[in-house]
Structure 1
Amino acid sequence: MNVTRCFIAMAVTDEVKRRAQNLINILAASEADVKWVETHNMHITLSFLGDVTPEETVEISRAAMRGAEQVSSFDFTIAGPGAFPDIERPRTLWLGLSQGAEQFCQMQSAIAEELAAIGYPETARKFHPHLSLGRIKRPTPQLKNLTELLKEYADYEAGVSPAMEASIYASQLERRGPKYTLIGHAELG
Structure 2
Amino acid sequence: MNVTRCFIAMAVTDEVKRRAQDLIRLLAASEADVKWVEPENMHITLSFLGDVTPEETVDISRAAMRGAERVASFDFTIAGAGAFPDIERPRTLWLGMTQGEERFCDMQHAIAEELADIGYPETARKFHPHLSLGRIKRPTPQLKNLTELLKEHAHFEAGVSPAMEASIYASQLERRGPKYTLIGHAELG
Q: TM-score range by the shorter chain?
A: over 0.9
Partner of 1:110: 110
- Give the drift of 1:66: 0.3
- Give the drift of 1:125: 0.3
* 1:40-119 equivalent positions in 2, closer than 5 A: 40-119=40-119
Secondary structure, counterpart of 1:71 in structure 2:
coil
- Whole-angstrom CA distance in 1 between matches of 2:15 and 2:123: 31
Structure 2 residue runs without a partner (length 5+): none
- Whole-angstrom CA distance in 2 between matches of 1:100 and 1:141: 37
Q: Aligned AA for 1:37?
A: V
Partner of 2:38: 38
Partner of 1:154: 154
Partner of 1:145: 145
Q: Aligned AA for 1:150?
A: L
Give percent identity, aligned residues only. 90
Q: Aligned AA for 2:124?
A: A
* 1:163-178 equivalent positions in 2, closer than 5 A: 163-178=163-178
- Whole-angstrom CA distance in 1 between matches of 2:62 and 2:133: 30
Secondary structure, counterpart of 1:99 in structure 2:
coil
Can you list the C-alpha shifts for 1:136-175, whole angstroms capped at 9, x where unaligned? Answer: 0111110000000001111110000000000000000000
Secondary structure, counterpart of 1:30 in structure 2:
coil
Name the Cα RMSD after superposition.
0.4
**Are positions 1:29 and 2:29 aligned together?**
yes
Partner of 1:131: 131
TM-score where L is the length of structure 2: 1.00
Secondary structure, counterpart of 1:126 in structure 2:
coil
Q: Aligned AA for 1:80?
A: G
> Which stretches of structure 1, 4 residues or longer, exceed 2 Å deviation after superposition?
none
Can you list the C-alpha shifts for 1:48-100, whole angstroms capped at 9, x where unaligned? Answer: 00000000000000000000001000000000000000000000000000111
- Whole-angstrom CA distance in 1 between matches of 2:154 and 2:173: 32
- Give the drift of 1:180: 0.3
Q: Aligned AA for 2:180?
A: Y
Can you list the C-alpha shifts for 1:7-40, whole angstroms capped at 9, x where unaligned? Answer: 0000000000000000000000000000000011
Q: Aligned AA for 1:54?
A: P
- Whole-angstrom CA distance in 1 between matches of 2:184 and 2:157: 29
Structure 1 residue runs without a partner (length 5+): none
Q: Aligned AA for 1:55?
A: E
Q: Aligned AA for 1:148?
A: E
- Whole-angstrom CA distance in 1 between matches of 2:53 and 2:21: 34
- Whole-angstrom CA distance in 1 between matches of 2:154 and 2:172: 33
Q: Aligned AA for 2:102?
A: E
Number of matched pairs: 189
- Whole-angstrom CA distance in 2 between matches of 1:3 and 1:16: 32
